[in-house]
Structure 1
Amino acid sequence: MPVQRWRPSVGGLLWVGVWTFPLLDPLSTVDGTRGGIIAGVGLGVFTLTYVVITTLGFDHREDLRRVADVGFGAVAALGVGLAAAYGEHWLIVMLFVGTCGAAVYAGYERVTVALVVLASVLAATVLLGLLHNALSTALITVIGTVLASGLVGAVRQMQRLIRELQRTRDALATAAVAEERLRFSRDLHDLLGHTLSVIVVKAEVVRRIAERDPAAAAAQAADIEDIGRRALVEIREAVTGYRESGLTAELTRAKGVLSSAGITATVQRTADPLPEAADQLLAWVLREATTNVVRHSGAQRCDIEISTVDGAAALSVVDNGGTASGAAFGNGLRGLTERLGAVGGTLQAGTRDGGGFAVVARLPL
């Protein structure tokens, strides 16, 4: 995979650069001699390398980890070299070696490396303090290095958590969109599947009776117009999220649809008024089951029963048609099975031993 070009932000470089002000102390010892010029150049190269590599560490660029490793090696070598060569005031550069190591290695997967680097920096600082007879300065630098490196490590961990939260939020948003699309497709299928099936049935009736009974054909055509208009209203309400379809209204509609298809419908309802959510969900089940009876069963009779048993509402739609209705367990019933399952309900559909097809939904109240 090609490595993307790294372009550090100006803000990031400035933020890291601002915290290099303690390096003004060794800079104050630089004079115009040859040795002073070399020390000044070395300090400038150290500072520039430190700012760039530390900023890279904060950017979490895993594809540039090798660059970060090499860059930190350069920072460490320059820091140790300057502190060893120029004495007490230069021990402060070891603090920046430690914070650079924390920025590069304090990630979740490299904490051990960061601890090893920090321990090495602290040990080197103490040894350099002994070399220059500046142990007290070395100990102060050690304390500062521990505190600064801990702060940098905490900031890096916070950045990692923020990035993970952002990825999680994006994943949840994607999942929510997919779930909403699935819900909308179910609603649209239930609405259009039922409505178009009814329109087809009534259109067939109109075609059969148009010549011998024009008045009845006109009445059926008027029903088709009414169904179409009602479907348009329902689709608009479904799109805006305000669709409410009650079970009582759906029962009336189911009997009319079955009757128009030449199917004798019987309805038995012993259930008390149901909670709104259960009422609407069972209305969807009744609509889908009735549509399947009309489209697939070839039945002459359909029995609908609504009851409450052991704290659960039960809806059964049973026809005496052929096995063709068994093929109806498609997107509609599958979607309703998922909806009922989400609230602890069940949906069973299949052929009966004595012939016909049954759909039974149970929903805890």
Structure 2
Amino acid sequence: MEPLEDVRPPLWRRLAWSVPWLVFQVFPVLDLVGTPRPLAARLVIAVALIAFTGAYLSVLGRFARPTGVRPDFVVVVVLALALSAGLGTSYAGLWIYVSAAAAASLPHRLVWPVTGAATLASLVVIVSWQDWTSLFLPVLCPLTAATLWGTRHLIVVNAELREAREELARNAVAEERLRFARDLHDLLGHSLSLIALKSELARRLAGADPVRAAAEMADVETAARRALAEVRDAVSGYRQVNCAQALAEARAALSGAGISFRGPERVPVLPGPVDATLGWVVREATTNVLRHSGARRVVVTLTEDGVSATLTVTDDGRGPAEDTAPGSGLLGLRERTTAVDGTLTGGGAEGGGYRLAATVPLVPAQVTA
């Protein structure tokens, strides 16, 4: 989390907020000027007021950053106590500054106890000196503290909101990068596997059957152009795979590799996200069969019962190795199916080979409070 001190208003603005509150200094200043006292006493009082004001501004410089009780805050309290107790109600207003300083800098648990103590101290001074015209001063202590505390709360909330917005933006960028990487892996993995397979076949046929070799190379060219178009679509964010298209591509790719393919007789109409997810499952399964399985036969089944759709891809190849972790393609598929509240399972098929199954609900799950 970004430190609060880095998101607070600049120092000059925090100090500017404290200037209007200095209006209450008019009472002690008038007392200093108008009350006959020895010159030495006036100088001492003037120095104390200047020190009080400097300490108060120092505390406000830490506005909205709770640091506990610091020396400058102690100076504010001690001088307010000494001046008001010794010189009368003209200095009782200094407790308003104590309340403001507490609300601006102390931890929340201390703000209101200190404010209450400052209010009581101001009231005691007024009662002791029997200056009933100054009874408004104790009322201003909690009002001032509430104003500063509310401003401080708004600063903290705004900082948290800004941090939340930045976090959402970072998450959106990370999610888009993940989507882009996953799409490129699934698109290029399938296309490049098909290109490599047909190129190898064309090389074998080049001498024995030039016509067939030329046909295979034409398929390579078509696959390469299609892969380029798909990558462009992925970059633009418009790439949409559907199950029927993926099944047709799988039939062509596997048949070209000499692998028997049997798919569903019809593809039911599915919601867009479900259709796209199952299409990616077919593509990744086809890619894995071409790359790793050594299979001679692949069977794809697709069923839906009005509640969910289940797609299963089974081959008769080597099956999963016991010490092999799932590849990035299967991890990407699991993320895709999880995103639509579905499940993906994969493992050895009965009788040998590999079985990959995805079940996706046709209606998004309802979130209950």
Runs of 4+ in 1 over 3 A off after TM superposition: 4-8, 324-329
Q: Is the 8 A contact 1:329 1:349 kept in 2?
A: no
Pick the aligned partner of 2:53 from 41, 44, 47. 47
Percent identical = 36
- Matched residue, 1:220: 216
1:49 maps to amino acid? A
- Matched residue, 2:241: 245
User: Offset of 1:153 from its aligned partner?
Assistant: 1.4
2:75 maps to amino acid? A
Deviations 1:62-89 (A, max 9, x none): 5xx26x5211100111112221232222
Q: Is the 8 A contact 2:243 2:275 kept in 1?
A: yes
Distance 1:325 1:234 in 2: 32
Deviations 1:296-328 (A, max 9, x none): 111111112222135212211111112258858
Q: Is the 8 A contact 1:318 1:357 kept in 2?
A: yes
Q: Is the 8 A contact 2:320 2:348 kept in 1?
A: no
User: Offset of 1:39 from its aligned partner?
Assistant: 2.3
Q: Is the 8 A contact 1:312 1:364 kept in 2?
A: yes
Superposition CA RMSD, Å: 2.3
TM-score by length of 1: 0.90
Q: Is the 8 A contact 1:296 1:325 kept in 2?
A: no
Q: How many residues align?
A: 352
SS in 2 for 1:353: coil
1:86-101 alignment runs, 5 A limit:
86-101=87-102
- Matched residue, 1:210: 206
- Matched residue, 1:311: 307
- Matched residue, 1:268: 264
Deviations 1:127-155 (A, max 9, x none): 21233222451x31110111111111122
SS in 2 for 1:265: strand
2:112 matches 1:115: yes
SS in 1 for 2:189: helix
Q: Measured at CA, do residues 360 and 258 of structure 1 come closer, stay the same or move farther in structure 2, by a change above 3 Å? A: same
2:365 matches 1:357: no
User: Offset of 1:251 from its aligned partner?
Assistant: 1.5
2:59 maps to amino acid? I
User: Offset of 1:59 from its aligned partner?
Assistant: 4.2
1:55-94 alignment runs, 5 A limit:
55-56=61-62, 58-60=63-65, 65=67, 69-94=70-95
Distance 1:299 1:360 in 2: 17
User: Offset of 1:40 from its aligned partner?
Assistant: 2.6
1:114 maps to amino acid? V
SS in 1 for 2:33: coil
Q: Which moved more, 1:82-91 or 1:27-36?
A: 27-36
Q: Is the 8 A contact 1:30 1:36 kept in 2?
A: yes
Gaps of 5+ in 1: none
2:361 maps to amino acid? P
User: Offset of 1:8 from its aligned partner?
Assistant: 6.1
Distance 2:48 2:328 in 1: 73
1:169 maps to amino acid? R
2:319 matches 1:323: yes
Gaps of 5+ in 2: 363-369
User: Offset of 1:55 from its aligned partner?
Assistant: 2.4
- Matched residue, 1:282: 278
